[in-house]
Amino acid sequence: MPKICIEENRLIACTDFITKIMTLFAFSMCVVVDRQFKFASIKKNILWFFTTKQIIPFNNIQKIAYSYEVHETEEYDREIEKFTVSLDLIKPHDRVKLFAFGNEEGSRTYVDLLMSFTGKKLT
């Protein structure tokens, strides 16, 4: 679950510290949604050395996508829920995954904030 905060006109969601530790700091991601300048910035750090950054203007976001999956594990004889939040783009017609959450409450909070900041609808 990402750490989420609001600073003035920006919604900031970044990989939480526990996930960074579990991946030995080999992966992290930060998504900044700027209401004033109308863009979303996605920065990923992969394998310590590789960094990618994607800037998505709000007018290229078609909608906010929200999905739910259940994975059954035989080891622990239980189900693991996964709620994924993504952006569906207009051009290229693509889906950009933002974050996966282990609970509905955290994911819905992030979706509601994304809708408020971008003005886009949920699918």
> Does residue 22 contact residue 9 with C-beta atoms inside 8 Å?
no
Q: Of 55, 56, 50, 64, give the one whose Cα is nearest residue 99.
A: 64
Contact predicate 80/71, CB 8 Å: yes
- Domain edges within the chain: 3-118
Q: What is the pLDDT of residues 13-28, one digit of tens each?
A: 999 999 999 999 999 9
Helices then strands, counting H and E runs in the chain, come out as 2, 8
Question: pLDDT tens digits for 32-63?
Answer: 999 999 999 999 999 988 999 999 999 999 99
Q: Which long-range contacts (CB under 8 A, 24 or more apart) does 2-10 make?
A: 2/29, 2/31, 2/99, 2/110, 4/109, 4/110, 4/113, 6/113, 8/36, 9/34, 9/35, 9/36, 10/34, 10/35, 10/36
The predicted model scores a pTM of 0.90
